[in-house]
Amino acid sequence: MSGDSPSAEGSEAGRDESLFSAPPMAEQERMVEAMLFASAEPLTAAELAARMPQGCDAAEAVQKLRRRYEGRGVRIVRVGDAWAIRTAPDLGWLMHREVVETRRLSRAAIETLAIIAYHQPVTRAEIEEIRGVALSRGTVDQLLELDWIRFGRRRMTPGRPVTFVVTQAFLDHFGLESARDLPGLQELRAAGLLESRPPAGAGAAPDEDADAQEAPPRGQSELFED
């Protein structure tokens, strides 16, 4: 705003005050650095100053910080009348892999994957039986391509159907030591990932008690028994 003679007229009036209260410039630089880093939007000098203690010179601190970052991996750039931290343009190629577009797996794929993980080695027919619908080629292809499943050995039954198993890449992705570490049904239920079956006959709703933060009544714990 006021170029290289910051707040010239302001300092006239408040010189004494600011002399004593303003933090050293190195400290102001730290503040600006932290704010620019954490902010989702570019910040103007005025916005920076508004958050800093009285007597600070945000514009000056930005300039100092900008010089400090010259030649580094990131730079302080001007965006309109605001400031932001951006990676150096010559390093843009490093960011390319950053832009992986993540999509959620389709429900069919995740269910198929879950069945393979829990039942491996498992045949196509068995997967279809559990899901109750035919297994599309696209689903299998996708999971094969992701390297999350692979063909296992053939089942020694008529037709010698091929089986599917999960891969090491699958275990790595899901942070599992082995497929045997997948929680069982009881544990899923205990963790609240599974609606508990309504108790036969009784119309009571045990779930309501269980969600209360206090001790659930004893009866509830039986549902959780491993």
Partner 1 sequence: MAQGDESWEDGATETVAERRAAEALIVDVDGFEGPLDLLLTLSRTQKVDLRRVSVLQLAEQYLAFVERARSLRIELAADYLVMAAWLAFLKSRLLLPPDPEEDGPSGEELAAHLAFQLERLQAMRDAAARLMGRDRMGRDFFARGAPEAEGVSRRVSYSATLLDLMQAYARLRTRDEFRPYAFDRPDVYPMEQALERLRGLIGHGPDWTRLSAYLPEGWTDAPGRRRSATASTFAATLELARLGQVEIRQGETFAPIQIRRKPEA
Residue 52 amino acid letter:
M
Q: Residue 205 belongs to what H/E stretch?
A: none
Residue 183 tokens read as 């929680």
Q: Which of 162, 169, 204, 205 binds a second copy (CB under 8 A)?
A: 162
62 binds, among a second copy, partner 1, none (CB under 5 to 8 A by kind): none
Question: At residue 60, what are phi and psi to the nearest 5 degrees?
Answer: -65, -40
22 binds, among partner 1, a second copy, none (CB under 5 to 8 A by kind): none
**Half-sphere exposure (Cβ direction) of 214: Cα atoms closer than 13 Å:** 3
Q: How far is the CB of 15 from partner 1 (least distance, A)?
A: 29
Q: How far is the CB of 21 from partner 1 (least distance, A)?
A: 21
- The contact pattern for a second copy, residues 7-46, with x = CB under 8 A and - = no contact, is ----------------------xxxxxxx-xxxx------
Question: At residue 207, what are phi and psi to the nearest 5 degrees?
Answer: -60, -30
Q: What is d(CA 178, CA 167) in angstroms, rounded to the nearest whole number? A: 10
Q: Of 73, 159, 81, 174, whose CA–CA distance to 124 is shortest?
A: 159
Rounded alpha-carbon distances, angstroms, from residue 105 to 109, 173, 219: 6, 14, 38
Q: Which of 2, 21, 54, 136 binds a second copy (CB under 8 A)?
A: 136
Q: Which of 14, 42, 121, 161 binds a second copy (CB under 8 A)?
A: 161
Q: How far is the CB of 75 from partner 1 (least distance, A)?
A: 9
Residue 149's beta-bridge partner residues?
Answer: 166
Residues 167, 173 contacting (CB under 8 angstroms): no
Q: Which of 2, 21, 54, 221 binds a second copy (CB under 8 A)?
A: 221
Q: How far apart are the first and last CA of the chain?
A: 68
Q: Is 120 in the site for a second copy (CB under 8 A)?
A: no
Q: Is 88 in the site for a second copy (CB under 8 A)?
A: yes
Q: Is 226 in the site for a second copy (CB under 8 A)?
A: yes
Q: How far is the CB of 224 from a second copy (least distance, A)?
A: 7
Q: How far is the CB of 123 from partner 1 (least distance, A)?
A: 15
Q: Is 67 in the site for a second copy (CB under 8 A)?
A: no
Q: Which of 13, 19, 79, 91 binds a second copy (CB under 8 A)?
A: 91
179 binds, among a second copy, partner 1, none (CB under 5 to 8 A by kind): none
What value does the CA radius of gyration of the chain take, rounded to a whole number of Å? 31
